[in-house]
Amino acid sequence: IGLKIATYAPKNILIIGAASFIASHGDIASAGPVNYLLVVESIDTIMHFAAPTHVDNLFKNNFEFTKNNIYGTYVLLETCKVTGQIRRFIHVSTDEVYGETDEDAIVGNHEASQLLPTNPYSTTKAGAEMLVMAYCRSYALPVITARGNNVYGPNQFLEKLILKFILLAMRGKTLPIHGDGFNVRSYLYCKDVAETFEVILHKDEVGHVYNVGTKKEMRVIDVTKDICKLFSIDPETNIQCVES
C-alpha cells in the first residue's frame, strides 16, 4: 500500500517482523523530511496515528500537544496536497472529542454528535479533525476519520491506565486516579482495533467519520477495582484519589 513511514518503538517492530517495514524516525512537524519521504518512497496511503495521547502529560507541556496534534496534522495534510499522490488518508482521532459521557446515558455518542472536548488534549484532536475535513472539502483529499476508544494490550507504553495500574499492583504500590474516578470510558483490545483499521483502510468510504468502540462503558474507579481484585489487594487502601 506504499505505507513506509511510522512513529515506532523499535522492540515492537522486531516482534512483528522488521523486514516488513522501512522505519524513519523524525518530527511530524518538519515539512521537509515528511515531503521527502512521501516522494522518495512513493507513499500513497497514510494512517495518521502520530500524537501525544496521555492526558497526564498535558499538564506538564501543553505546547507539545498543540504542536503535534494540530500543526503536525497540518504538515501531513499540506504535503499530501502538494504531492498529489495520496489515495487514502486515515486520520486517527479519539472519542474524547465528544466530551465526557454520562454514566447513565441511554444513547451513547454517534458520529454526528456535537464535539464538546473538555481538556486541551481532546481540543487539539478536535481541531485536527476540522483541518482534516477542510482539506477533504477544499482539496478533495481522500480522508477518513476514525474516533477510537481507549486501547490496551501487550507492549503498550507504560503511562496508559490499565498497564500502569497492573504494574503498580504487582509492585504493591497505590493506584492513583484523578478526581473521584466516576468518569466513564470504553476500552478496546489492540488486536480488535488493528482488525477494525484494516476494514477502514480497505472498505470504508472516503469523507466519512467512524466511531471505533464498544457499547460497554466502565467507570475508571471500577476498572481500578477490577485490577485490585486480580491481585487480591484491598481497593479501599490501595486506590488513591488525587486532584486533576
pLDDT at residue 136, as a whole number:
96
Query: Is there a domain that residue 90 lies in?
Result: yes
pTM of the shown model: 0.84
Phi, psi (deg, nearest 5) at residue 228? -60, -40
Query: Is there a domain that residue 186 lies in?
Result: no
Q: Would you tell me the crossing angle of helices 161-170 and 220-230 to the nearest 10 degrees?
A: 30
Is residue 58 very low, low, confident or very high in pLDDT (cuts 50, 70, 90)? low
Hey, is 18 helix, strand or coil? Answer: helix
User: Above 80 in pLDDT, residue 22?
Assistant: no
Query: Is there a domain that residue 16 lies in?
Result: yes
Q: What is the pLDDT of residues 195-244, one digit of tens each?
A: 999 999 998 899 999 999 887 888 999 999 999 999 999 999 999 988 76
Q: What is the pLDDT of residues 94-130, one digit of tens each?
A: 999 998 766 555 556 888 889 999 888 899 999 999 9
The catalytic position among 36, 64, 104, 121 is 121
User: Above 50 in pLDDT, residue 67?
Assistant: yes
Query: Is there a domain that residue 159 lies in?
Result: no
Which range marks the domain in which residue 117 is found? 5-148
The catalytic position among 74, 96, 129, 210 is 96
Looking at residues 139-157, what average pLDDT do you find?
Answer: 91
Query: Is there a domain that residue 63 lies in?
Result: yes
Q: Which residues pair with 146 in a beta bridge?
A: 92, 210
> The domain that contains 52 carries what CATH number?
3.40.50.720
Q: Total structural domains in the chain?
A: 1
Round the average pLDDT of the chain to a whole number and report it: 86
Query: Is there a domain that residue 215 lies in?
Result: no
What are the grid coordinates assigned to 148, written together? 477510537
Looking at residues 152-171, what average pLDDT do you find?
Answer: 88
User: Above 50 in pLDDT, residue 2?
Assistant: no
Count of other CB atoms within 10 angstroms of residue 129: 21
Query: Is there a domain that residue 213 lies in?
Result: no
Q: How far apart are CA 183 and CA 223, in angstroms?
A: 11
User: Is 96 one of the annotated active-site residues of the chain?
Assistant: yes
User: Above 90 in pLDDT, residue 38?
Assistant: yes
The catalytic position among 95, 98, 129, 210 is 95
User: Is 95 one of the annotated active-site residues of the chain?
Assistant: yes
Per 3-state DSSP, the chain is made up of helix, strand and coil in percentages (nearest 5) of 45, 15, 40
Is residue 55 very low, low, confident or very high in pLDDT (cuts 50, 70, 90)? low
Is residue 159 very low, low, confident or very high in pLDDT (cuts 50, 70, 90)? confident
Query: Is there a domain that residue 217 lies in?
Result: no
